[in-house]
Structure 1
């Protein structure tokens, strides 16, 4: 496994209609490094966002989709998503507050 620092684990937030609806339950969705574990994701969220306390982390490995361009056939890259559930007394994550 790669030696991941906490700032390498979370790649970007995922902003979709479904993920925005789950924010009322303090669930936030992130695209994370494919080699990151649940403990590394929990540590990264708590270090990057002050006042955030993680209750649990759910992860999903998504395979790449098949794509064609003329005769050439290929696949898009694999991604890993993490849904982070915060505790009830935890602070909100600021990057999602303005959306």
Structure 2
């Protein structure tokens, strides 16, 4: 799998911002078929950062009610990437 297909986008929320500041953990939305080794290699290649560990979570899509009945959002996968000491990924570089 291509490294550009593995990582879809960074996941920037209040929780992930706190984790980044406290524990040097960055979150990404990743391809559902990607494994931890591929995610680690993609982060290293794209951001030039050393990875300590990767934890993945499969997120179930929410069920939503609409005027026409019930629909379901897509399932997706997120990865929490712990960076080694001294490493940093800055998404909003000036």
With normalisation by structure 1, the TM-score equals 0.88
Equivalents in 1 of 2:16, 2:90: separation in Å?
Answer: 15
Aligned to 1:60, which of 57, 60, 63? 57
1:37 is aligned to 35
Note the C-alpha offset of 1:97.
5.7
Equivalents in 1 of 2:40, 2:92: separation in Å?
Answer: 18
Q: Give structure 1 stretches of 5+ with no counterpart.
A: none
Equivalents in 2 of 1:8, 1:14: separation in Å?
Answer: 16
Q: CA RMSD in A?
A: 1.3
Equivalents in 2 of 1:83, 1:54: separation in Å?
Answer: 11
Equivalents in 1 of 2:35, 2:70: separation in Å?
Answer: 32
Runs of 4+ in 1 over 6 A off after TM superposition: none
Note the C-alpha offset of 1:89.
3.3
Q: Give structure 2 stretches of 5+ with no counterpart.
A: none
How many residues are aligned here? 93
Aligned pair in 2 of structure 1 residues 33, 60: CA closer, same or farther (>3 Å)?
Answer: same
With normalisation by structure 2, the TM-score equals 0.92
